[in-house]
């Protein structure tokens, strides 16, 4: 399996298939590149080179006891793009994967990007005055303990059994459940992720952005996408009905189509 090495010596696994203008898929917290399996084929058929990156501690990439912060994940993405000499790339991040993209752009700019797609990730998880589009129930008063047991169930949005049923399609495609990392060694990363506010980064992006949101997300209101898109004149939002936080599983075909249309319009 192909790998690249970061500036601090960590081996990152990735997949690479197809030819054409590049799209890089980045999965969310504890998820692996396998969670993009239902989109990869459609995107290669649409004429793209499709790469998917396992972030450190995820999937086939090396785990570390250091670098458990979003800024390091942003630099890892920079190392990956530079090593493969990728440019004019459409960056696609699911959940925390979107945070990795914003961290990269914050540190290195968006010069290698042609466009950015974020998949159900609010730019600020913390709720507060003027921002009620964060993680359900997360406030400045409880952020220190809110994620002590991992990502909590909120009782909101699409029922877990519905997503579990829709996961069957991915399991059948892979021949087994997708690989999932143990969240506990990466608890500091989750905490760092929850404390970020990427709105100023979004404001300064110079490339088009598409903010996807699940209307029935279990973790935050879909309004985060429209609120984020309002921060930049080159941004747009798309809300998918009957769809939870795991958008690339709940509405796999619609997500693939949305990414392909967005990328195609940039050519």
**Total number of domains in the chain:** 1
The domain spanning residue 194 has which CATH number?
3.40.50.1820
State the DSSP string of the chain: --EEE-TTS-EEEEEEE--SEEEEEE--TTB-GGGGHHHHHHHHHTTEEEEEEPPTTSTTSPP-SS--SHHHHHHHHHHHHHHTT--SEEEEEETHHHHHHHHHHHHH-STTEEEEEEES--SB-S-BTTB--SSTT--TTTTTTTTTTSSPP-S-SS-HHHHHHHHHHHHHHHTSPPPB--SGGGHHHHHHHHT-B-HHHHHH--S-EEEEEETT-SSS-THHHHHHHTT-TTEEEEEESS--S-HHHHTHHHHHHHHHHHHHHT-
How much is the pLDDT for 1? 76
How much is the pLDDT for 108? 99
Model pTM? 0.97
Structural domain boundaries, residue 225: 3-265
Q: Which residues of the chain have pLDDT under 50?
A: none
């Amino acid at each position: 399996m192909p790998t690249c090495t970061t500036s601090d010596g960590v081996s990152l696994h990735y997949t690479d298939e197809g030819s054409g203008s590049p799209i890089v898929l980045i999965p969310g917290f504890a998820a692996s590149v396998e969670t993009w399996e239902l989109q990869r084929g459609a995107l290669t058929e649409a004429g793209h080179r499709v790469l998917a990156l396992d972030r450190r501690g995820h999937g086939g990439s090396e785990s570390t006891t250091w670098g458990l912060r979003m800024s390091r994940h942003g630099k890892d993405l920079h190392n990956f793009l530079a090593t493969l000499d990728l440019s004019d790339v459409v960056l696609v991040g699911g959940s925390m994967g979107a945070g990795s993209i914003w961290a990269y752009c914050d540190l290195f700019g968006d010069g290698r990007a042609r466009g950015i797609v974020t998949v159900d990730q609010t730019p600020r998880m913390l709720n507060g005055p003027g921002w009620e589009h964060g993680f359900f129930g997360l406030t400045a008063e409880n952020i220190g303990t809110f994620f002590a047991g991992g990502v909590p169930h909120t009782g909101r949005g699409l029922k877990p059994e519905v997503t579990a049923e829709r996961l069957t399609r991915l399991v059948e495609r892979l021949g087994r459940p997708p690989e999932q990392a143990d969240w506990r060694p990466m608890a500091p990363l989750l905490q760092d992720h929850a404390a970020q506010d990427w709105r100023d980064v979004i404001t300064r992006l110079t490339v088009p952005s598409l903010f996807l949101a699940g209307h029935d997300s279990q973790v935050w209101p879909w309004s985060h996408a429209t609120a984020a898109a309002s921060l930049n004149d080159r941004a747009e939002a798309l809300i998918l009905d009957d769809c939870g936080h795991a958008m690339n599983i709940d509405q796999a075909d619609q997500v693939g189509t949305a990414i392909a249309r967005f990328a195609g319009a940039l050519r």
